[in-house]
Chains A and B, each alone.
Chain A
Amino acid sequence: DAGITQSPRYKITETGRQVTLMCHQTWSHSYMFWYRQDLGHGLRLIYYSAAADITDKGEVPDGYVVSRSKTENFPLTLESATRSQTSVYFCASGAGRENQPQHFGDGTRLSIL
């Protein structure tokens, strides 16, 4: 089915570990985004990508790394996880046209102990 999928849905890890969250979309959307959602802060942009091999920082990029070697995939890596990165992470994609919305994946709930 067409859509945007994230994996894993739930992840528990320890501080200092590296963890990668996966995002895959089948719409061939140019733009992809990573957000984190925390109580009291709403959704905050971490990184986004306009096309393969083009990425840019968002509001809260520190401690995260992204890559986009293929249009359909946009993995997010926490190189050395910290407790403050415990959050729900949402991936989104969009066609990039002005009135076109972003479409969100189901999210990854990440806990760092």
Chain B
Amino acid sequence: ETGVTQTPRHLVMGMTNKKSLKCEQHLGHNAMYWYKQSAKKPLELMFVYSLEERVENNSVPSRFSPECPNSSHLFLHLHTLQPEDSALYLCASSPSSRGTQYFGPGTRLTVL
């Protein structure tokens, strides 16, 4: 398998649930990213990991918790989300912080 994969592709959860999004890259890249894409809003960068260390956190609420156990895997742990958190969550990776980003297909999250 090649490229960036994300699971699940669709997720519906209640506000009291805890769930996790998974991202996996088989490209040997050093940097990984989480983005939030909401309707009629710009793409929002949430977190950046470089060599498994978090290097950027753009004022994301604590109900979103990222984890990068190794350079190939990135998780986004979700708990007590709000309906306004419903969006498409995109994972990306890149060989360096300046290079082309390779995106996964996204997880469509709906919070009820």
A binds B: no
Seen from chain B, the residues whose Cβ lies within 8 Å of a Cβ on chain A are none
Seen from chain A, the residues whose Cβ lies within 8 Å of a Cβ on chain B are none
